[in-house]
Amino acid sequence: MMNLFDTHAHILDDQFNDDREQVIRNIYDNMALVVNIGCNLEDCPHTVALAEQYDKLYAAVGLHPEDVKTYTPEGWDMICRLAEHPKVVGIGETGLDYYWDTSTKDAQKVLFEQHIDLAKQLHKPLVIHDREAHGDTLEILKRTNAKEAGGILHAFSGSVEMAMEVIKMGFYIGLGGPVTFKNARKAVEVAQAIPLEYLVIETDCPYMAPVPFRGKRNEPMLVQHTAAKIAELRGISLEELIEATYQNGKRVYRLK
Ligand SMILES: [Zn+2]
């Protein structure tokens, strides 16, 4: 289990305020690496500080599409400065979310393209959120030549066809708790169909806890349940799945 790599966690979420140290201890006892994702102006500096403090934690910085209304030029400058930090290994979370709010579509697109520019400048991969926005996400990734930066489509919810299309551009597919859910048809198909070299696993904690913890608070070490489910779906051993996703995670985040 020691090579478990959670490629997408939110350890600074308020839900960890009472026991964050224990959650980090669980990482040290059970896992290899975690990328902790900052997604608003308040969390990003703390995400970097936490990664400075713990060698198993890395950081990504960005402004989540749901938080597009909090954008300020000064805030963006701060993200750009933080992004240069050596333990910041990804730009995001960024992307498009048309599930919560479609009134901000245009602003979300502008902000997404800003993140893509930054990722290309710094040669760091993108951490991409796409919820009910598959068409526009693909269009922007292609038009901006985002494959220069590469990255992960996290919590991937598209079809096998879309997965293959972004993989052809060099992007990785992030799968988490939903692949273990009873009603998870699309995620299961994607988990089975894509080449193993482009698959990474994640928790997106504190949300999306895998079965048998569905509905409870999620945390990085629970990514082992997602790993076990995907190994079963692909008919390979858990060890092989963990080792492959560990190597893939290191490759996409360009870790030594
Ligand atoms: Zn996230």
Distance 41 CA to ligand 1 centre (A): 15
Distance 155 CA to ligand 1 centre (A): 8
- The whole-angstrom separation of Cα 165 and Cα 177 is 23
The 10s digit of each residue's pLDDT in 95-122 is 999 998 889 999 999 999 999 999 999 9
Compute the chain's Rg from CA coordinates.
Answer: 17
Say what the pLDDT of residue 16 is.
Answer: 98
Closest C-alpha to 154, from 110, 96, 111? 96
Say what the pLDDT of residue 1 is.
Answer: 63
Q: Which residues constitute the domain of residue 136?
A: 5-252
Distance 243 CA to ligand 1 centre (A): 23
Query: How many domains does the chain divide into?
Result: 1
Distance 9 CA to ligand 1 centre (A): 7
CB proximity list for 44: less than 8 A, separation 6 or greater: 38, 61, 62, 78, 79, 82
- The whole-angstrom separation of Cα 255 and Cα 251 is 6
Question: What pTM does this model have?
Answer: 0.97
Say what the pLDDT of residue 102 is.
Answer: 87
Q: Any idea what DSSP says for residue 15?
A: G
CB proximity list for 228: less than 8 A, separation 6 or greater: 238, 241
For the chain, list residues with pLDDT below 50: none
Distance 42 CA to ligand 1 centre (A): 15
Q: What is the CATH number of the domain that holds 41?
A: 3.20.20.140
Distance 231 CA to ligand 1 centre (A): 23
Closest C-alpha to 77, from 30, 109, 45, 50? 45
